[in-house]
Structure 1
């Protein structure tokens, strides 16, 4: 079946085969969080984005292939409930932005803007997006054989940027970072994978950017 990115808590994962990378998307409860397992097709190295919850399900996805790292997109608890157990059972490195490290349940290796996370011979670029939390990040994979793929955590969704608790300063930071670091840099065909719900493309969302700014959320 063609990949749509539509998953539900307790339902089957969705699989996307890229030229060098396989993306597996699964939704875990109770808050319908998305977790993404990336596997390099050359050698099989795997990286998990957001060990959100339901550690047994995530470990089943990992299987016998081992896990090189778990990247946490931000420090909100619904994105790391399973982090400690997954890391303990796989020996994976735990990675997160330095500005959100203090809010996580285990020690992590700090990430910063422009760092790269290896998935075998594939690379994810770390993009720091302030506002939802101080250390929220997106991860960019530039597929040499196709369109860019962007894992946005809770900083960008279909229909708007992430929650900033009606704080004008935080909203300004987030919408500025999202526009300048994502929409201004990447093409319309860039496919993005958020921390909850359905995927979208930058092109589908780009016309609404002025509306997002005007409404303030």
Structure 2
């Protein structure tokens, strides 16, 4: 699996472009905003985008989902259904965080633990990792030892849990039972900031000691 990271919105959220090197077909993960930047990355890498994947429904991750899906004619997969209330509340989120008005959307497919999603000829596993939000999911590509973890885990930190229906206990449980077992060599793209590896976070992340 190939990837490019496109920081978007004033929160510098890591929108990810994933693509299959065999087919050059790809997916946009968490298009939070700044559609021209995302389109530039798509064109620069010669990717034909076939879907949008969503880890969770905070506005900096989904602010551009509806217009991008409409503009490019893309299906939307994810997050898990427990984030429905956040999608319904996107107009309120836009007011709270100073974003332009954001439209709601309905995923063509809600995702659950154990589901898979395809990107070209590649298959990603879906892990349901609640805590930051109740419907947060993570995408794992075993063959290339890559995970897209949204706001569950960061380099040296973990996701916030002071938002509605957040749970620190659930978050740490998601990390210790779902992410750490992926293996120390797995690299991950977090929702913000630099990439890291599971091994580095197991050793050095102060929140996991």
Q: Could you state the TM-score of these two structures normalised by the residue count of structure 1?
A: 0.81
Cα displacement string for residues 98-126 of structure 1 (whole angstroms, at most 9, x for unaligned residues): 21134221110201111111011101111
8 Å Cα contact 2:6-2:37 kept in structure 1: no
Cα RMSD for the two superposed structures: 2.1
Cα shift at 1:213? 5.4
Q: What secondary structure is seen at the aligned counterpart in 2 of 1:175?
A: helix
Give 2:41's aligned residue. 61
Q: Which runs of 5 or more structure 1 residues have no equivalent in the other structure? A: 1-20
8 Å Cα contact 2:6-2:41 kept in structure 1: no
* Distance in 2 between residues matched to 1:134 and 1:95, nearest whole Å: 16
8 Å Cα contact 1:156-1:178 kept in structure 2: yes
Give 1:203's aligned residue. 199
Q: Which runs of 5 or more structure 2 residues have no equivalent in the other structure? A: 88-103
Is residue 115 from structure 1 mapped to residue 147 from structure 2 by the alignment?
Answer: no
Q: How many residues align?
A: 189
Cα displacement string for residues 37-66 of structure 1 (whole angstroms, at most 9, x for unaligned residues): 111111111111101110122122223743
Give 1:6's aligned residue. none
Is residue 182 from structure 1 mapped to residue 208 from structure 2 by the alignment?
Answer: no
Q: What secondary structure is seen at the aligned counterpart in 2 of 1:87?
A: helix
Give 2:70's aligned residue. 88
8 Å Cα contact 1:101-1:110 kept in structure 2: no
Give 1:10's aligned residue. none
8 Å Cα contact 1:46-1:119 kept in structure 2: yes
Cα shift at 1:208? 4.1
* Distance in 1 between residues matched to 2:8 and 2:163, nearest whole Å: 27
Q: What secondary structure is seen at the aligned counterpart in 2 of 1:89?
A: helix
Cα shift at 1:207? 2.2
Cα shift at 1:204? 0.7
Give 1:34's aligned residue. 14
* Distance in 2 between residues matched to 1:195 and 1:52, nearest whole Å: 10
Q: Could you state the TM-score of these two structures normalised by the residue count of structure 2?
A: 0.84
* Distance in 2 between residues matched to 1:136 and 1:80, nearest whole Å: 12
